[in-house]
Structure 1
Amino acid sequence: MTATKTKTVTHNGLALDWAAGHGPITGALSATTGAYAVATVGTLAHMPPSWALAVGTVGALGHTALGLRQKLAARTISARAASWLLGSGWTTWALATGPLTWTALGSLAVIGVGMGAAARSVGLYEEARELEALAAVERQVARELSADRRAIAAEWVDRVQRVCGITLRIVAVEMWPTNTGFTIDAELPSGGTTYDRIARENARLSADARLPHGCTAAASPGIDQGRVLIDVTTVNVLAAEVPYPSDYSPLSVHTGVPWGYRTNAEEILAYLREQCALVVGPTGSGKTNMVHVILAGFARATDMLTWVIDLNAGSAGLPWIRPALEPTGDGQQVIRPGIDWLASTHEEALKMLDAALRIGLYRKRAYQDLMAKANTDLLPVSHAIPQIMLVIDEGAEILVSNDPETKKLAKKILEVIRMLRAMGIRTVLTALGATGSVLGNMLIRREAKTRVALTGGATEGMDLSKLFPGGNGLRIEQAPHKGTGFMGTPESPAALFGTWRILPNQIRDIVHATSDRHPYLDAISAKAAGPDYARRWDADRTAWITEHEHTDTEPGTRDPAMGRGPSGGGLNLSAHRAAPVAPAGADEDALAEQFRREIDAQFATAPDPIEAPPTRPGLNLSAHREEDNAARQAALTLLIAAGPEGTGASAIARGLDRYGTTRQTVVGWLKTWADEGEAVRIGAGTKTRYVHHTHAREHTSDDPDED
């Protein structure tokens, strides 16, 4: 296809658009000059005067017919016909008497002014007619809508009077774009009547209106305390299973994360920059699915890192890790897990919570200048400094447990909730029921302002009045379907809602789609988190993810190094490595060592705690690195852990035995770090040691000898 190029011509003088239509002035000027030219040329050529009159008559008749076809106003048709007749009449007279007289020129000028004025007048009239016609159509539509709305208003005035004993004055009735209901905006009667007198009777109003099951008439505050909004749902949108939206566009903690949809089909957002959240749901209510919906929203965010604690074998977080364990072909995108850390045991959960506390307390000191510059007492959360969201499955039960080990977790969870709001560390707890024992902690009730109750029709252990104090008219029978219940936030009062259905295949798609979007933990926080965070993907801490039995369909098809199935079925990280795969008869220690080396080399951890995040997003799984990143990372961790006393190349090399790293390699790293300012060299000769720059601000060394 050949593209047509338009050449723009710039004129220095007046630019004339010869394709444009005539206005009142140019039209009159064109008509009068044309008549004068015809009269002058016709006089010289001895043209019969009657010809000009005949032409004008034909023109008048033609424009009359065209005006009738276009349904123009009578005055417009008359003005056009008169213009033709006057012009042709003057031309006929000029041909007979001569056009080169002051009388002829003057009369032509008068005719031109008259034509222009008439054209302007009828043009305005036609515009007014067109606007009036459009307005008439709009008034007709408004009358039809108003008739329906007036009927609704009158019906609900009577209903509220009958059920609640209150006489309302309806201000407006807004029909929902989804055609699933409407909202009534009404003024309350004088005398101190409040909206909650209607809210308490939501169930009775719904029954009086004969609304379908799952539909409600819910009253909420209006624009001021003398107004009330009544949302009336006429279609039960919660009955059908709705898949999670396929739009995986970026989200932010500042703009809210979608957790579900209201009965009017609008998304409901959770704003968790300063709030914690509590999700309650008995077995079979869709709570696990809700957790995955929450994790999906966090994975889409560009300024949030998700840490998950699930003491039930880590099942809540495993689907978000497995896509990163699947083998990828050469040149394909490296996939990072959908969550940043997963704890399935008390020991790992304690490490995670301790790391969170260290991060929060260190951020308070390290980011004082940044907060002062931003003139805020809240840490400015962004992609560079992400918020950490701790999702703790059945965390509310942990808080009330009497088990000694679990009590340690409960204490640290409460410390995180109480101390780290301003520093961008918040929690999402789940629970099996809304009972007094679960909701008895005042800290939970005060901080968890975003609350969800998935009922699934279950009534045992679901006291909505405890979870939503002041939530009038909430009844479990209104949400009998799995994945439905009630959700309340500071921005949106507690009301019916439903959550989307998300399946493992879609979780995998989300992990792949958002892999390059996840932020890295900022250097200051990574430093505070220490080795517990840096080594969270070590083989000895993640072996439980892949340690499970496989039934082989054919003997001899298992990868002895990975303990996984045939090609494409496991975490094959040795495809491009020089280390040979252990034979099938190798002992278990050798296999474990081989597996640990490969895991460490590929899931090396987050970026170096004190270095800027790598420019390439994603877990660094490259098989062709020039040096072993895992060993280098471990060496840097040992250097940091050595503290102000520092350490030497030999000591670090001994700590890297399992990587097979030589002392000469460590010496090269230390020299590089010293040249880059990452480490400070102290002493000389056999007493040489290196101290990380965060522990030694004033040490210097000039002696190049090594120990």
Structure 2
Amino acid sequence: MATTTEVTMTKNNSKPSTQPEVQGGPVWDWAAGHGPVTGALSATTGMFAVATTGAATAMPPGWALAVGAAGAIGHTAAGIRLRNAGRTIAARAASWLVGAGWTTWAMTHGPLTWTALGSLAAIGVGMGTATRSTNLYEEAREEEAIAAEQRAVAAELSAERRTIAAEWVDRIQRVCGITVRVLAVEQWPTGTGFTLDAELPGGTTYDQIAARAAALSADAHLPHGCTAVAGPGVHQGRTLIDVSTVNALETETPYPTDYAPLSLLTGIPWGYRSNAEQILTYLREQCALVVGPTGSGKTNMVHVILAGFARATDVLTFVIDLNAGSAGLSWVLPALQHQPAPGERPLRPGIDWLAGTVEEAHTMLDAVLRIGHQRKISYQALMAREDTDLLPIGPSIPQIMLVIDEGAEILTSMDKAMKKLAAKILEVIRMLRAMGVRTVLTALGSTGSVLGNLMIRREAKVRVALTGGEKEGMDLSKLFPGTRGLKVDQAPYKGAGFMGTPESAAALFKCWRILPSQIREIVAATSERHPVLDAVSATAAGDAYARRWDADRIAWMHQPQPAAPVSELDEGGEGRRGLNLSALRDEREDGPEPEQGPVSEVDRLADAFMREIDEHFGTAPEPTRRPERERPERPGLNLSALRDNDGDDSPAPQGGAGPEWLADAIAAIADAGSAGMKPSAVADHVGRSRQAVREALKAAAERGELVYRDNGPHSVYVHPDHA
């Protein structure tokens, strides 16, 4: 015998069935439960079937009554366990008992009379009505229970928020002398702090609270590295005060391993705030300036920036690093050293161009300027069609991001060679914003010399100060003008500092830690993602861009390993015992010292760079190589190995250190008097490479045998007698 109980009808907006739709008739869901109507219909038809069968077979009527009583007891127990309402339990038990009573009566008097059928119909209607009523009551009870639970949670949170609000209203009044009204307290999802939305009294600005950020943090007994920073609210009469209670900057967080595609237009993450939220930079029209002293994590952040650009589908990255290209080599070498398997496509470097020398930097900047000027001409129709004065950037026309390590120092350098480079960088910054060329410059400190350039201050709206606890040369008021309450000691951790963007006020942040293994992974993961320079720009760049990866252009990236030390065995294979004196080694008439090894590409470029400086500065002609002169007697070790074959017993340089030609060099410097001699002149005099001469003279100066007079390109070495 069936009954109407706790199941409800399937709603029309339920998930569509996966079974194929049957055309031409209603679709029956045999897995669905009974509702009030179908439940009552099932119960009454079951009662009628049992009564009819029982009457025909002379079934004892008491059996139906026993089954109904058992059903009522079972549903009562189930309702108590499910914590149903009393009316629900009573209605279900009554349905079982009424149904069992009618079945017993019908088996006795016959179910096929109009009286039996009419009473059965009335019982069915009553069951459906009672079921509908109890279902609605149970739904209401459940909704009320959920609402009551939510009200309890809200009341608890409201009590906590009211306590926080009252505490900070009192604290701001005590520390800042300002009476605010806290309108809301929002707990951060990360659980590391909260934000106060406060209304300011008339004639008060949030700057008056921001200036007392350190005092507020101390009064609140916040942990080291946690701050209370006031910023602008929804209007000028309100302020948002971010209070961090957990120092999220203390721990080192690795760079996210989700190397999903990014876009310059939707923002590129550079780090995270003290509330663990990522900071996005929008560099379509803005340049960036990253400041950080040695040991602050600046190089790591440069790699994080390059990682974001490598993941972007609408960015090509050009890197200038005059320090042997170290900032970009990690993004180039994995591709250059990759050996593709048969059928595998070779890896593309993580950056599109790397300049490690002044000459290559000039070549790159000239190409970038040509690209920008040609884009202005060729894409006028496109910009007119898009009704914009900014070149539409995308995978087909990528933006060029020029990352210049220690570029701020280049812009402020007084060296003539650097001034030429700086002029081109400034022209790129000034002229090519609309054409999709922007720069990221780094510097060692936020000093007046770095920020004295108006172009840097005006264009670099995205600014980062990696402090690492270093106070020297970190004037945050110059880097973030108008922002008060920032102190270096708030971010004493490596990779931590302050960051401000046009969309986000300057505040504490932390940069992710990126490892060399992750750089290799990103290069491999983004190799197929890099865009290709558009045809207009590639044509304008010419061979300088097309041949940027030629073997002769990247030969410096494949420098051989340093030469092995000179063996202690002579050419005959016999061991040489005693001091390994350079004077006892065979030397060539011309060329570098054997201990220096062959002249490397770096030495050659350094010599060429020095010659270029000598030519452009117009200094006096270098002294030509002088004839050999008699060496003066000087105190020191009288080593036989240093004597000439003709029996000259002139001593070695003072202290017995340095190559054998050093004594002649020191004598020549002494003869030059107070004017001294430049290292290039000494190199020409002794017939050695400039690199070897510079190292020997530097060592002699450290021993006190010479005095180095630093005067930029006019620097000379002077004998102590004339210093």
Q: What's the TM-score bracket when you normalise by the shorter of the two chains? A: 0.7 to 0.9
Shift in CA distance, 58/457, structure 1 to aligned 2, threshold 3 Å: closer
Q: Is 1:426 matched up with 2:433?
A: no
After superposition, the C-alpha distances for 1:212-244 in whole angstroms (9 at most, x for unaligned) are: 111101111122322221111112122222222
CA contact (8 A) 2:340 2:346 kept: no
User: Among 258, 278, 288, which residue is 1:247 paired with?
Assistant: 258
Provide the rounded CA distance (Å) in 1 between the counterparts of 2:144 and 2:60: 47
CA contact (8 A) 2:210 2:484 kept: yes
Q: Is 1:35 matched up with 2:41?
A: no
Provide the rounded CA distance (Å) in 2 between the counterparts of 1:438 and 1:496: 22
Q: Is 1:234 matched up with 2:238?
A: no
What is residue 101 of structure 2 aligned with on the other side? 89
Provide the rounded CA distance (Å) in 2 between the counterparts of 1:7 and 1:203: 66
Q: Is 1:23 matched up with 2:35?
A: yes
What is residue 407 of structure 1 aligned with on the other side? 419
Provide the rounded CA distance (Å) in 2 between the counterparts of 1:428 and 1:71: 66
CA contact (8 A) 2:338 2:347 kept: no
Provide the rounded CA distance (Å) in 2 between the counterparts of 1:501 and 1:70: 53
After TM superposition, give the deviation of residue 345 of structure 1 in Å.
2.1
After superposition, the C-alpha distances for 1:84-112 in whole angstroms (9 at most, x for unaligned) are: 22222223333333333333322222221
CA contact (8 A) 2:496 2:508 kept: yes
Q: Say which SS state the counterpart of residue 500 (structure 1) adopts.
A: coil
Q: Say which SS state the counterpart of residue 538 (structure 2) adopts.
A: helix
After TM superposition, give the deviation of residue 401 of structure 1 in Å.
1.5
Q: Say which SS state the counterpart of residue 279 (structure 2) adopts.
A: strand
After TM superposition, give the deviation of residue 387 of structure 1 in Å.
0.5
Q: Is 1:68 matched up with 2:115?
A: no
What is residue 125 of structure 1 aligned with on the other side? 137
After TM superposition, give the deviation of residue 198 of structure 1 in Å.
1.3
Shift in CA distance, 437/553, structure 1 to aligned 2, threshold 3 Å: closer
What is residue 321 of structure 1 aligned with on the other side? 332
Provide the rounded CA distance (Å) in 2 between the counterparts of 1:66 and 1:102: 36
Q: Is 1:185 matched up with 2:197?
A: yes
What is residue 301 of structure 1 aligned with on the other side? 312
RMSD in angstroms over aligned alpha carbons? 2.3
User: Among 448, 451, 473, which residue is 1:439 paired with?
Assistant: 451
5+ long unaligned stretches in structure 1: 1-5, 556-587, 593-707
Provide the rounded CA distance (Å) in 2 between the counterparts of 1:329 and 1:110: 84
Q: Say which SS state the counterpart of residue 252 (structure 1) adopts.
A: coil
Per mean C-alpha deviation after superposition, the further-off stretch among 541-550 and 260-269 is 541-550
After TM superposition, give the deviation of residue 124 of structure 1 in Å.
0.8
Shift in CA distance, 323/18, structure 1 to aligned 2, threshold 3 Å: closer
After TM superposition, give the deviation of residue 429 of structure 1 in Å.
0.9
User: Among 462, 469, 487, which residue is 1:475 paired with?
Assistant: 487
What is residue 290 of structure 2 aligned with on the other side? 279
Shift in CA distance, 261/19, structure 1 to aligned 2, threshold 3 Å: closer
The 5 Å alignment of 1:116-155 reads: 116-155=128-167
Q: Is 1:215 matched up with 2:226?
A: yes
Report the AA paired with residue 212 of structure 1: P
For the pair shown, the structure with the greater C-alpha radius of gyration is 2
After superposition, the C-alpha distances for 1:433-471 in whole angstroms (9 at most, x for unaligned) are: 112221122222111100011112222221111110111
What is residue 663 of structure 1 aligned with on the other side? none
Provide the rounded CA distance (Å) in 2 between the counterparts of 1:498 and 1:166: 31
CA contact (8 A) 2:185 2:195 kept: yes
Q: Say which SS state the counterpart of residue 317 (structure 1) adopts.
A: helix
User: Among 201, 215, 229, which residue is 1:204 paired with?
Assistant: 215
Report the AA paired with residue 235 of structure 2: D
Shift in CA distance, 228/544, structure 1 to aligned 2, threshold 3 Å: same
Give the TM-score, by structure 2 length.
Answer: 0.73
Provide the rounded CA distance (Å) in 1 between the counterparts of 2:522 and 2:169: 48
Q: Say which SS state the counterpart of residue 553 (structure 2) adopts.
A: helix
Shift in CA distance, 16/168, structure 1 to aligned 2, threshold 3 Å: same
What is residue 493 of structure 1 aligned with on the other side? 505
Provide the rounded CA distance (Å) in 1 between the counterparts of 2:188 and 2:363: 49
Shift in CA distance, 151/553, structure 1 to aligned 2, threshold 3 Å: same
Report the AA paired with residue 291 of structure 1: V
Q: Say which SS state the counterpart of residue 428 (structure 2) adopts.
A: helix
Q: Say which SS state the counterpart of residue 438 (structure 1) adopts.
A: helix
Report the AA paired with residue 228 of structure 2: A
After superposition, the C-alpha distances for 1:501-527 in whole angstroms (9 at most, x for unaligned) are: 223232222222222211111111010
Provide the rounded CA distance (Å) in 1 between the counterparts of 2:431 and 2:248: 40
Provide the rounded CA distance (Å) in 1 between the counterparts of 2:459 and 2:388: 20
Report the AA paired with residue 223 of structure 1: V
After superposition, the C-alpha distances for 1:175-194 in whole angstroms (9 at most, x for unaligned) are: 222222111222223x1322
Q: Say which SS state the counterpart of residue 451 (structure 2) adopts.
A: coil
What is residue 687 of structure 1 aligned with on the other side? none
After superposition, the C-alpha distances for 1:370-413 in whole angstroms (9 at most, x for unaligned) are: 22222221111111111101111111111122222211111111
What is residue 262 of structure 1 aligned with on the other side? 273
Report the AA paired with residue 192 of structure 2: T
Report the AA paired with residue 279 of structure 2: I
What is residue 652 of structure 2 aligned with on the other side? none
Give the TM-score, by structure 1 length.
Answer: 0.75
User: Among 114, 117, 128, which residue is 1:105 paired with?
Assistant: 117
Report the AA paired with residue 492 of structure 1: S
Report the AA paired with residue 523 of structure 1: A
After TM superposition, give the deviation of residue 554 of structure 1 in Å.
13
Provide the rounded CA distance (Å) in 1 between the counterparts of 2:261 and 2:318: 19
Provide the rounded CA distance (Å) in 2 between the counterparts of 1:314 and 1:55: 90
After TM superposition, give the deviation of residue 425 of structure 1 in Å.
0.3
CA contact (8 A) 2:338 2:346 kept: no
After superposition, the C-alpha distances for 1:521-554 in whole angstroms (9 at most, x for unaligned) are: 1111010111211222233322222234434699
Shift in CA distance, 554/129, structure 1 to aligned 2, threshold 3 Å: farther
After superposition, the C-alpha distances for 1:407-431 in whole angstroms (9 at most, x for unaligned) are: 1111111111111111100001111
Shift in CA distance, 47/252, structure 1 to aligned 2, threshold 3 Å: same
Shift in CA distance, 501/55, structure 1 to aligned 2, threshold 3 Å: closer
Q: Say which SS state the counterpart of residue 205 (structure 1) adopts.
A: helix
CA contact (8 A) 2:217 2:228 kept: yes
Provide the rounded CA distance (Å) in 2 between the counterparts of 1:314 and 1:69: 74
After superposition, the C-alpha distances for 1:538-587 in whole angstroms (9 at most, x for unaligned) are: 333222222344346999xxxxxxxxxxxxxxxxxxxxxxxxxxxxxxxx
**Percentage of identical aligned residues:** 72
After superposition, the C-alpha distances for 1:293-338 in whole angstroms (9 at most, x for unaligned) are: 1111111111111111112222211222111221415325412221
After TM superposition, give the deviation of residue 476 of structure 1 in Å.
0.9
Shift in CA distance, 288/47, structure 1 to aligned 2, threshold 3 Å: closer
Report the AA paired with residue 82 of structure 1: A
> Matched residue pairs, number?
553
Provide the rounded CA distance (Å) in 2 between the counterparts of 1:253 and 1:136: 47
User: Among 227, 236, 241, which residue is 1:225 paired with?
Assistant: 236
Provide the rounded CA distance (Å) in 2 between the counterparts of 1:32 and 1:438: 92
After TM superposition, give the deviation of residue 38 of structure 1 in Å.
2.7
Provide the rounded CA distance (Å) in 2 between the counterparts of 1:551 and 1:221: 61
What is residue 613 of structure 2 aligned with on the other side? none
What is residue 396 of structure 2 aligned with on the other side? 384
Provide the rounded CA distance (Å) in 2 between the counterparts of 1:54 and 1:485: 81
Q: Say which SS state the counterpart of residue 541 (structure 1) adopts.
A: coil
Shift in CA distance, 490/33, structure 1 to aligned 2, threshold 3 Å: same
